[in-house]
Structure 1
Amino acid sequence: MASWYPDIEMEEMRSDAKGYGKERGAGPSSGVRGCIRPRHYTTSYRDTGEIKFCISEYKHDAFQMMLLMKSNQMLTDVKLEVGREIFHGHKIVLAAASPYFKAMFTGGLRECEMDTVKLQGVCPTVLAHLLCFMYTGEIVINEMLVCQLLPAATMLQMSHVIDACCTFLEQQLEAGNAIGIASFAQQHGCMDLYRKANTFIEQHFSEVSMEDEFLQLSHCELVHLIQRDELNVPDEKDVYNAVLKWVRHDEETRQPKMEQILQAVRCQYLSPRFLTEQMKNCRLLKKAPACREYLAKIFKDLTLHKPPCQKERTPNAPCVIYIVGGYSNQQSLDTLECYDVEDHQWTQLSKLPVARSGLGAAYLRGIFYAVGGRNILPNGNYHDSNWVDSFNPITNCWKQMSRMHTPRNRLGVAVLDGQLYAVGGSNGARFHSSVEKYDPDDNTWALVRPMSKARMGVGVAVVNRLMYAVGGYDGEHRLNSVECYHPENNQWTFVSSMKIPRSGAGVCSLRNCIYVIGGYDGRHQLCSVEKYDTETDVWSSVASIKIPRSAMTVSVWDGKIFVMGGYDGSQFLSSVEVYDYHRNEWSECKPLPWGRSGHASASSFHPCLLHCDAR
């Protein structure tokens, strides 16, 4: 078979202007010459021996020619009149690009026979852009054009342009325009953009509520927004304060609606201290007795430690579990990593300023705190610390905060009423019963009533504004006792004891119950798990973890308990187990990057470096 050149095309060209003038079989002197022109195409072979050629440039070239013909009014068969301007076009192109024009020209309407069609609801500039798109498949969108382009594309049912406008607006989303874009999208039936804009509002409510668009919401729109379970706020105070700001913007008109709006705020997740300050000092509340009574009732329920009637918000945002510090390879670690629960990926973040193990951690108002711990050097020397460092997940930076009154190693840490509590621990051979709390508003620590027993390796959990200190080691014995802290009277009381004494257990709360996982009983690591019902004051056993471990860390997300790392008596573990309380069973999850013990963790739905917008 003769050779073939797949990327060239041979053309015969006429040599004289008067005619072809040469016979088919003429030689080199016949005036026919070969013109080699590059072409790009794909081929497919058929069983019959045929070859199908697909010329990639053809569609582009054909439309370019049609655009040229339109520009020169060649074979155009319709004129579009918009205001004082006339646009020439080909009905077949318009009908192919727009169902609106297809119905107009093929549906038996009177426009079928008209040479000139008047268009309403679109400006000449926008129509020029849309016609250009019909002939080229290309369109340039900017902030000034998109507000007119999307309605016109919607009217003409040009789905590709609608999608391009929505993509453009999605990329422009920010706190100052998200509410407006959501409203604009809903108005024009762009429901995917509407959902994305609302998701942005939910995930960035604190920032959105600071903008002018928020103040322009109607009463009904505001209630609809703040009622959402998916609202992602570091503290319910953000929602409460946003409502007050909205009312103050037009106080005379809006104050009568304040009681109804407040009921949409999850006020049962405000602290009693905050409620007291508001009822005492807020000028708006002084003018609204019904609002004061409503908040007073909530205050009473909180101080009686009643389970909240309102559902806790469940943000529509990725969950991240932060893990900091720990012990491995005969030294303390300075690592900070985060685990994306949905993507199952571990990511390294900025290192802890001072390496330490036996520390505590908590997430409070959008900030991750690393508290206390022991800095163990490779030579065996160590130093127990009272250091407190805060990590900003958005900037990926650490900041040193006020130090605790007492160095604490293997302490328990919890958040109660918007304050950070450091419980027990040890300083060298001295075991602590003392407890102190941190106020992030003024960056200070204050001592509170100590526990009845010293507890190192204690687990701490909070349920219905009561803080429970579980187990631990007092310097002589592993403990099965549990103490409960009442913030109203600053008192600790004993509740029912665990079945098995243990220290270094993983402790967390889930659905009004406290789970105590693994730990060390003085002889070996444990795999048993106990559950405490805070309402009935009863302990029960649930499914055991697969690998016995102590000095691990636990975190809760979406009704599941994550148990990460620890020590099994012979090696440091990287394995992660996940508990599903519905099924009462454990399953394995993606392991830690390496084994460790004595690390700390906390989970968050709030914005972080992994999920910050690229804009």
Structure 2
Amino acid sequence: MSLKQKQEKQQEQQLSLRQRMALFQASSSVRQTNSKGSGACKRKKGGAETNTSISPSLHVGTEIKDYKACSSSTLSNAHLNETHISTSCPPSSDTCHSQELISFLLPSYCDSLFSSLRSLKEEGLLLDCSLQLLGDSHKAHQLVLAAVSQRAEEWLCSQNMEVNLYNVGGSGCHITYAGLKAVLNFAYYGEVNMTYTEARDLEEILMACRCLGVDRLAEVCKAEAPSTGRAEREQSLQVIRTLWERRVGCDVIMEVESGERFPAHRIILAAGGDYFRALFCSGLRESKEEVVCLRGIASWVLESLLEFMYSGRLKLGWQNIWDLTEASLQFQLQGAHTLCSEFLHDHMNDASCLDTLFLAETYGLERLGRAAEEYALAHFQQISERENFKDLTCTLLARLLEKDELSVDSEVVVFRALMSWVEEDKAHKLANLPGLLQRVRFPLMSPPELEEVEGCRLLRRNAEGREALQIVRKLLEGNQRTIGCKPRTPNQVLVLVGGDSVNDNFERREPNRSLWFAQRFLRGEGLIRTIEWEPLVQLPEPPRFRHCVCVLNNVLYILGGRKYYGKLDILKSVVRFSPAQFKWECLPDMASARDYFAAVCWRGKVFVLGGNQDDTNYLDSVEYYTPEDNTWRLAHPLDTPICGHAAAILDGEIFISGGCDSHLRCLPSLWHYDPVYGCSNRAPMASGAGRAGHVMLAVGNQLVVAGGLQPLQVGFGDQLQCEAYDVLQNCWMPLPSLPRPHLSPAATCLDGMLYILGGSSSDSGYDTPWVYRYDPRDKFWDKLGTLPRPYADLAACMLQLPINHRG
């Protein structure tokens, strides 16, 4: 190799994984390897296209003899140490990237290999042994037969391809068709394919075992409890591996461009992966050649893959994972690829997740790609500070930035990461800035953070950033009515709003103006759970209970309720709180005063439905607020006046459950509500004769109702039973019961789990201090701790708070 060629190869090895993948993906010949070996011998590596070449014909036996001078054990370590494994992760200083290689076994590999061997036999491919018996010829693979037969191993060593089985074991030793069939079946399946209830059948099998030296089959036939087919196949694979290590029966030599050669068996290569099956079985020139040259692959990589094909084991570590993953995909070795993917999945970390994500995108590895993306979203703040973050493609970066699941302490971290990405290569990346800035959620930022954005030189000096600057200036001026923004879900905290409770002297009940948020959920010894609550802000006067809250674009709307206990104390006023601006704003009043009503956010609007107007009259009216024009309007009324009901959104549709009508009847009803067409009936709730003062939320693809009270023969009682509604089946299913009563509690949902907080007991009259969480996967209510104090008639939601307000 010339000096220039060596320099080019070193440059190729120093390419980042992203660059290597891009060059590899650009090669049309690589894509052709995915179609059963069409053009399978062509490859592009490091920008240079090469052909798989066939060396002049040499007798395989001569090559194997020469090869014995270099043992298999010395090749692996020597070449692994000499070859630089190029990744974009810092290999020496990062402690999470250990240099140790660990052996991984794919348990299903042996079964998969023998399944492929049987397939090759059934299709008549690579059959190199003809067994003549009573005028008939029985084709097989010599290597497979040699794995169970001592006599077949002798034929393999002597390259005896055609054998007459008449008196093969000497005089007095006669092989019958039944005996031969049993031996062949044992070789390919590891099992006996017949029942031998008659002595003659067993004698024929044992006679064939003696003639062909198939001792293991004889033992299976004689054993009271025969071993499993899997155990026998694994033992046969061990024999095949031993034959390979001894270079017995190797009929092809795989040569890498550095000149090193590796004898192997065509049948094992073809059974191991689709690439080699196409290479040796599709009639290509290579199928008849004895030496096949594979260019663009390091000798240690090929040796590792051969080791896998003969054992199902692969030694993996951060120093070789990228090259082996690429090679397993190139040669379509599904088993090796499975081990590589599992390694990348199970050892995901800040340094590897972006390279894993790019690799998964390049090759369409959906499961691995999802895992890498989820990790990147959960650790975005850490990975955005790494050097390989700047290698992300615009498409991948845009996809990460637009996800609700992206986790950062503050949205300004997203902005800083984007600016760092652009600054690394402004000439090529600046054109992408406008589209990427649209994915930054500026309304989630605090005023100091917005001022940092406004002062960014890159935005001020380039036309690409003008639209973002206009948004930022409007936010700083407090004009946010037309600027919508969803919160990042992992950054949300649970917030309590209002409610009432018994005062410290236990003299009377008092309404509450406090907003609290859950700083941490703590787990103590045993079953002890506590919640660390922190005060967030005080409600503007008056205090509120029996109210509703909604969150739209991470802005908290607080609607109606009561300020005290008289019938004239029911409120129609509405306020909203912006966590980013950390300020309150009074909105126009609703048309009607309401408490014990329901509210939802639907299609960018806030809807309030029904409720109690003055302790005598219940409402059937529905109003909705439009933030764009700061106006309330009437929608289609409900079918009947109700209060104490619940409402939720599932699949973009509004559903209303239960409540009490104007005759104080507790209803089991479920309605689908449309603001234009009104209510339509769905299957009624199944637990009890009705339910009111409860909660209903969408959890997964179901509506879950919990808490409240139910009608009894005399009066009302606590309802502990919970149930879930399936929209597609239009039916209710029972869920685990609540451990304690929760009448008029607060409830919210996060990450597919339902939180129910506080309330009271209809039976005892006492307030409930407990917080429970329901996980639909475990089907279990988990007690998380208590409220700051036992509140009833409160509300709760999830909000994304700026980091400076989270303590």
How would you bin the TM-score normalised by the shorter chain? 0.5 to 0.7
Does residue 1:572 correspond to 2:718, yes or no? yes
Displacement, 1:282?
Answer: 4.0
Quote the residue 2:545 is aligned against: 456
User: Partner of 1:603: helix, strand, or coil?
Assistant: strand
Measure, in 2, the Cα distance between the counterparts of 1:493 and 1:271: 22
Comparing 208-217 and 387-396, the one that deviates more: 387-396
Which of these residues, 732, 746, 753, is aligned with residue 600 of structure 1? 746
CA deviation profile, 1:93-112 (whole Å, cap 9, x unmatched): 22221332223333333333
State yes or no: 1:503 paired with 2:503.
no
Q: In 1, distance between residues paired with 2:601 and 2:657?
A: 17
Corresponding residue of 1:239: 414
- Over 3 Å counting, the alpha-carbon distance change for 1:394 and 1:539 in structure 2 is farther
* Counterpart-to-counterpart distance in 2, 1:511 and 1:231: 23
**Separation (CA, whole Å) in 1 of partners of 2:703 and 2:602:** 8
1:283/1:266 CA distance change after superposition, 3 Å:
closer
TM-score normalised to the size of structure 2?
A: 0.49
Q: Which runs of 5+ in 1 are unaligned?
A: 1-19, 25-39, 316-363, 404-419, 424-434, 436-449
Instruction: Write the deviation string for residues 42-72 of structure 1: whole angstroms up to 9, x where unpaired.
Output: 8999899999986332211222211111222
With structure 1 as the length reference, what TM-score do the two structures score? 0.62
Cα deviations by residue, 1:573-604 (Å, 9 ceiling, x for unpaired)? 34557799x99x99677465333125333333
**1:172-251 paired onto structure 2 within 5 Å:** 172-219=347-394, 221-227=396-402, 231=406, 236-247=411-422, 250=424
Task: Give the C-alpha shift of residue 243 in structure 1.
Answer: 1.7
The answer as to 2:645 corresponding to 1:546 is no
Q: 1:182: how far off?
A: 1.4
- In structure 1, what is the Cα distance between the partners aligned to 2:549 and 2:192? 69
Answering whether residue 609 of structure 2 is matched by residue 514 of structure 1, we say no
Q: Which residue of 1 aligns with 2:520?
A: 392
How do 1:254-273 and structure 2 match up within 5 A? 256-257=430-431, 259-267=433-441, 269-270=443-444, 273=447
Conserved 8 A contact 1:461-1:468: yes
State the Cα deviation string for residues 101-137 of structure 1 (Å, max 9, x = none): 2233333333333333322232222222222222223
Q: Which residue of 1 aligns with 2:564?
A: 474
Pair 455,149 (structure 1): closer, same or farther in 2 beyond 3 Å: closer
Distance change (3 Å), C-alpha of 1:192 and 1:461: closer
Q: Partners in 1 of 2:276 and 2:577 — Cα distance?
A: 72
Residue 269 of structure 1: CA displacement? 3.8
* Alignment CA distance shift 1:391-1:294 (3 Å): closer
Query: What are the within-5 Å matches in structure 2 for residues 421-460 of structure 1?
Result: 421-423=537-539, 435=540, 450-451=541-542, 455-460=544-549
What CA distance in whole angstroms lies between the structure 2 residues aligned with 1:567 and 1:186?
52
Query: Which residue number corresponds to residue 574 of structure 2?
Result: 483
Say whether residues 1:138 and 2:229 are aligned partners.
Answer: no
- In the alignment, which residue of structure 1 is the partner of 2:295? 120
Amino acid at match of 1:211: R
SS of 1:161 mapped into structure 2 = helix
Do the aligned residues in 1 keep the contact of 2:547 with 2:562 (CA within 8 Å)?
yes
| 469, 494, 511: which one aligns with 1:368 | 494
Gap change, CA 1:92 and 1:547, over 3 Å in 2: same
Contact preservation (8 Å) 1:553, 1:598: yes
**Of 512, 537, 557, the match for 2:632:** 537
Correspondence for 1:152: 327
Q: SS of the counterpart of 1:108?
A: coil
Aligned-partner SS, 1:492: strand
Q: Is the 8 A contact 1:578 1:587 kept in 2?
A: yes
Answering whether residue 233 of structure 2 is matched by residue 62 of structure 1, we say no
Describe the SS at the equivalent of 2:716: coil
Aligned mates of 2:616, 2:190 — CA distance in 1 = 71
SS of residue matched to 2:306: helix
Deviations 1:222-259 (A, max 9, x none): 345424566566764443232234345x3865884575
C-alpha distance in 1 between matches for 2:307 and 2:753: 41
**C-alpha distance 266-140 of structure 1, shift in aligned 2 (>3 A):** same
Q: Is the 8 A contact 2:590 2:623 kept in 1?
A: no
Number of equivalent positions: 479
Of 107, 110, 117, which aligns to 2:282?
A: 107
Q: Percent identity, please.
A: 21
Letter of the 2:590 partner, please give it. S
CA distance in 2, matches of 1:114, 1:561: 66
Q: 1:606 to 1:304 in 2, by over 3 A?
A: farther
Per-residue CA distance 1:145-200 (angstroms, 9 max, x = gap): 22221222223221111122112111122333211111123344534423432343
- Quote how far apart the aligned CAs of 1:88 are: 2.1
SS class of match (1:210): coil
Partner secondary structure for residue 139 of structure 1 = strand
How far residue 471 of structure 1 moved from its aligned partner, in angstroms, is 2.7
Q: Which residue of 1 aligns with 2:586?
A: 492
Alignment partner of 1:278 is 2:452 = yes
State the AA in 2 paired with 1:150: T
Q: CA deviation at 1:605?
A: 3.9
**What secondary structure does 1:495 align onto?**
coil
Change (3 A) 1:145 1:44: same
Task: Tell me if the contact between 2:522 and 2:531 (Cα under 8 Å) persists in the aligned partners.
Answer: no
Q: Distance in 2 between matches of 1:524 and 1:48?
A: 89
Say if 1:373 and 1:579 are closer, same or farther in 2 by CA, change over 3 A.
Answer: same
**In the aligned structure 2, how far is the partner of 1:526 from the partner of 1:574?**
26
Distance 2:473 2:702 in 1: 30
Task: Give the RMSD, CA atoms, in angstroms.
Answer: 5.1
Aligned with residue 164 of structure 1, among 339, 358, 361 = 339
Kept in 2, the 8 Å contact 1:368–1:390? The answer is yes
Q: Which moved more, 1:570-579 or 1:170-179?
A: 570-579
- Structure 1, residues 314-340: CA drift from partner, whole Å, max 9, x if none? 97xxxxxxxxxxxxxxxxxxxxxxxxx
Matched-pair contact (CA < 8 Å) for 1:470–1:482? yes
Q: 1:246 to 1:156 in 2, by over 3 A?
A: closer
Corresponding residue SS for 1:246: helix
1:458, 1:470 within 8 Å by CA — same for their partners in 2?
yes
Tell me which moved more, 224-233 or 591-600.
Answer: 224-233
Distance, in Å, in 2 between the alignment partners of 1:95 and 1:381 is: 85
Whether contact under 8 Å (2:383, 2:389) holds in the other structure is yes
Question: More displaced, 387-396 or 545-554?
Answer: 387-396
AA at the equivalent of 1:481: K
In the alignment, the residues of structure 1 paired with residue 697 and residue 538 of structure 2 have an alpha-carbon distance, to the nearest angstrom, of: 18
Query: Is the CA contact 1:552–1:567 (under 8 Å) kept in the aligned structure 2?
Result: yes
CA distance in 1, matches of 2:277, 2:170: 47
Helix, strand or coil: the match of 2:316?
coil
Q: Could you report, residue by residue, the CA deviation over 1:499-544 in whole angstroms, capped at 9, with x for unpaired residues?
A: xx54344444333333446766676998968452436512443465
The answer as to 2:248 corresponding to 1:74 is yes
1:476, distance to aligned residue in structure 2 (A):
1.2
The Cα offsets for residues 184-220 of structure 1, whole Å up to 9 and x where unpaired, read as: 2334453442343234334543443233322333555
CA distance in 2, matches of 1:387, 1:304: 24
Q: How far 1:366 sits from its partner (Å)? A: 3.5
* Residue identity opposite 2:356 in structure 1: I
Distance 1:284 1:23, change over 3 A: closer
